[in-house]
A and B are shown apart, each in its own frame.
Chain A
Amino acid sequence: MSSSERQSAKEEYREIDKNLEIFQVCDSTFPIGTFNHSYGMETYLRDGIVHDAPSFEKWLSVYLETQFKWGEGLAVKLVMEALDREEYDKVWQIDRILTLSAAALETRKGASLIAVQMIDLLVRLYGDTDAKEVEILREYRIRIREGKAFGNQAIAFALFMHMKGSDFRQSVCYYSYSIVTTMVQNAVRAIPLGQKAGQDILHTIFGDIIKLSSAIEELDESYLGASVPGVELAQIRHETTVFRLFMS
């Protein structure tokens, strides 16, 4: 192997290492408690509206194209832009607007619980690096404890991806992937669906993820936290659903 070949192999392995670290955080087994949350899907399950693979897929694509796109998806982009410009206070502002756009108490509580576990785990894994993003993650955790921030997984994820040097397209798409894999796993358990049916849904939803990421490129802050009636009302009504597998 020539020295230039060795050099390029080294660079490739560096890239692979980075990707492996991203896979870990995006994996549905990353223990941050997302399996406890259905984002309102369970209300439809109890009402018999979501009952099989096609009806679940319909709900999932509407959720992704509406509340998720204007909410967590857009937040990933806005946070990464703020970090590029070193406008760190903007992160807290996005946390506030995003959280206070959710009418459902359970949705806000759920997001906060997941965020805390995600931040703690990221700090555990990356605490020895002196990256600015880790410092912000630590501050985020303190702010949540002191009631000065609410906490959202998308914001913690954006901080991690920025630290890894990823751009917002990768970040939005990989974040969407991590949410979708968890939701599909939740649906497999709760509806229930077969594991293969779950993989079919996952495979077809990738197109939606690319679509939503390119739509987010056009969106500014005035869209942050927007929603649509049914998605939101299902999240509100989950609170009074008698039999529940999920916390939200």
Chain B
Amino acid sequence: MKTYIPSNDGYTEIEFTLQGGRTIASKRITKGQSRLSAPLHLNAEDTLVLFLITMGGGLVEGEHYKTFITSRENTHAIVASQAPTYVFKCNDGKTTFQDVKVKVEKGAELEYLPDDVIPYGNSKYKQTTQIDVEKGASLLYTDGVTAGWSMNHKDFQYRYAHMISRISYDGQLLFNDNLILDPHAFEMAEIGLFEGYKNYSSLVVVDERVDAKLVKELQDLNSRSFPGAIMGISLLEGPGMVVRVLGESINGNRAILYKSIDWLRSKFYGLPHLDLRKDVSFINSLNAIR
């Protein structure tokens, strides 16, 4: 294990444990540019939430961020992020890395819902997420990437983004989600790429209750077309499924994914509509905490 962590990089380690029937954040370690919110509870439910925070507002060229999340047996928690992951420009050609390792133990339920990645003009980004879900555990995982941000307000000005999510269930690979975005090699607005849309979002669900019938139900729930977006749902090779959205806006994509998330939360966990309270006042209050 790497012991030296340069001060400009970020490191986060989270562990959830069950104590007296309640989930507590038994480990909340951050180093470098990474921070965590205080453990919060949502308005409408008693679920524990932690927000990942990056100081300085984004990831700087050549930085290497590492995040470890462990949900011990029978816990239920949400890990979200305070803001999108901004990947700043990489003018010296160095890649910025983010590695995330997640473990969800038997009987645990984890909602890992980070915001989208927004790569700046000229940035190079590599993200590797490894999620191991034990038999009988449950996972909701969102991820996404946008057309980015640039000084000239043009889309897809970043150089390269490679995002891999390897998800295993019961010790076996379930889904190897490997996304390569290379705006220098491809016309990103074209067919097959972003097709005129600006945001690509994904929800991966792993839970023993996921089967062809459940996928069909969720497909039926989403059978009417969404304005400004296209979406699809498919069963993975085991108890998991994927929901994918290509759309015009981050919030539009988020709304589509959260429709499925809310339906699944109710069905699986008996929990209400997810309200992460991420309005301006909430972010201000988060800033006040850190």
Contacts and interface: CB of A to CB of B under 8 A. Distances in A.
Interface of A: 44, 49-50, 55, 58-59, 62-63, 65-66, 70, 96-97, 99-101, 103-106, 108, 150, 222-234, 236-237, 239-240
Could you say which of B177, B178, B185, B200 has the most chain A C-beta atoms within 10 Å of its C-beta?
Answer: B178
A65 B193 CA distance: 11
- Please list the 8 inter-chain residue pairs (A to B) with the smallest Cβ-Cβ separation, ordered nearest first: A236-B232, A62-B192, A226-B178, A237-B232, A230-B192, A229-B200, A101-B176, A231-B192
Could you say which of A70, A96, A239 has the most chain B C-beta atoms within 10 Å of its C-beta?
Answer: A239
B91 interface: no
A237 B192 CA distance: 13
Contacts of B200: 229
Chain B interface residue number, banded: 20 to 34
Contacts of A237: 230-232
10 contacts: A44-B191, A99-B237, A100-B173, A100-B176, A101-B178, A105-B236, A229-B179, A230-B190, A231-B192, A234-B192
Interface in B156-195: 162, 164, 173-181, 185-186, 190-195
B174 A100 contact: yes
A219 to B, nearest CB: 11
Contacts of B173: 96-97, 100
Contacts of A226: 162, 178-180
Given A97-B176, A103-B244, A230 B233 contact: no
A237 B186 CA distance: 23
B162 to A, nearest CB: 8
B242 interface: yes
Contacts, number: 106
B246 A59 contact: no
B286 interface: no
B176 A232 contact: no
B287 interface: no
Contact of B180 (A70, A97, A100): A70
Contacts of A108: 237
Contacts of A63: 192
A100 B237 contact: yes
Given A62-B190, A62-B192, A227 B179 contact: yes
A59 B176 contact: no
B26 interface: no
Given A103-B242, A104-B234, A232-B244, A225 B193 contact: no
Interface of B: 162, 164, 173-181, 185-186, 190-195, 200, 219, 223, 230-237, 242, 244, 246
A237 B234 CA distance: 8
Given A100-B236, A226-B162, A237-B230, 4 more contacts: A50-B191, A66-B192, A101-B177, A231-B192
A62 B180 contact: no
A224 B166 CA distance: 12
B234 A236 contact: yes
B194 A230 contact: yes
Contacts of B233: 236
Contact of B175 (A70, A103, A229, A240): A103
Nearest to A61: B192
A230 B176 CA distance: 17
B84 to A, nearest CB: 17
Contact of A62 (B193, B230, B234): B193
Contacts of A225: 176, 178
Contacts of B193: 62, 228-230
B178 A70 contact: yes
B235 A105 contact: yes
A237 B164 CA distance: 22
